[in-house]
Structure 1
Amino acid sequence: MSTEQHHRNHAIDYIEFAGTDLERIKAFYRQAFGWQFTDWGAEYTSFEDGRLSGGFYQSATVAPGGPLVILYSEHLEKTQQQVEAAGGRILKPIYSFPGGRRFHFADPDGNELAVWSE
């Protein structure tokens, strides 16, 4: 976990996901979003996305559900193409909602995330 962050009281500070294949997960998020990774042993890797930090821990399985992490994109269609090219599976194609548009995807281990744009 990075010590260079500026932490804010009561703000989301760090998020962790399970991963069955950490090398595959790192390759996916690097290709789709340009995230940077730091390995902390064989069973944990942390990431920096430029705003928020988090990590992936080695797990035998990934259970769907839990909080939905939503990323922001300035170019939603391009981001969806990058997700698909990196091996992500689109769960809900781009749709409109009050305040913008978004899509949901599953990473190679089945973690569901969404991406939104204004």
Structure 2
Amino acid sequence: MNTISYFEIQSSDPNRDKAFYGSLFGWKFVKEEFVPIEYYRIETNNMYGGLLKRPTQIPPAEYGTNAFTCSIEVSSFDETAALILKLGGRVALPKFAIPGRCWQGYFIDLDNNTFGIFEVDEQAK
């Protein structure tokens, strides 16, 4: 209760973005037939999510984020950041320390969605 228990990613190109997130985090995508739009259940180790065909136009980048932004815990910030860039993602906000907690940063996926990654590190300064 009172924690993120489900997330959704809107995509103008679901096949491209399934490949991006599958390669990046190892997520699996299962097509859901019971909904009236193109929708995939995202299977992760410990969260529930979905990827859906974007029902509207992509917001212009200069308009900022119009949604909740989720951050994914990773074992290595630097390795994951390098993989994001290799897969075509972009940096939204470079790596920074949350002192005594973690390294955090934000990226933009192939459909201009913002997402974060963080590496727990109590020595972060």
Instruction: Measure, in 2, the Cα distance between the counterparts of 1:114 and 1:90.
Output: 10
- Which structure 2 residues correspond to residues 7-86 of structure 1 after superposition, within 5 A? 9-41=1-33, 43-59=38-54, 60-63=56-59, 64-86=65-87
1:62 to 1:46, Cα distance in 2 relative to 1, 3 A = farther
Seen in structure 2, the aligned counterparts of structure 1 residues 62 and 18 have a Cα distance that, compared at 3 Å, is farther
CA root-mean-square deviation: 1.5
Counterpart-to-counterpart distance in 1, 2:58 and 2:6: 19
Deviation at 1:78, TM superposition (A): 0.3
Secondary structure in structure 2 of the residue aligned to 1:77: helix
Is residue 65–residue 112 contact of structure 1 (8 Å, CA) maintained in 2? no
One-letter code of the match for 1:110? Answer: N
The structure having more radius of gyration, on CA atoms, is 2
Residue of structure 1 in register with 2:108 after alignment? 106
Identity value in percent: 25
TM-score by length of 2: 0.80
TM-score (norm 1): 0.84
- Tell me, in whole angstroms, the C-alpha distance in 1 between the residues paired with 2:25 and 2:83: 8
Matched residues in 2 for 1:101 and 1:11: separation?
21
| Partner SS state of residue 108, structure 1 | coil
| Structure 2 residue matching 1:92: 3-state secondary structure | strand
1:100 positional shift? 1.7
Equivalenced residues, count: 110
Gap regions ≥5 residues in structure 2:
60-64
Q: Higher relative contact order at CA 8 Å, sep ≥6: structure 1 or structure 2?
A: 1
Task: Please state how far the C-alpha of 1:69 moved relative to its aligned partner.
Answer: 0.3
Deviations 1:35-83 (A, max 9, x none): 1110124611111121111111112324433212011111110010111
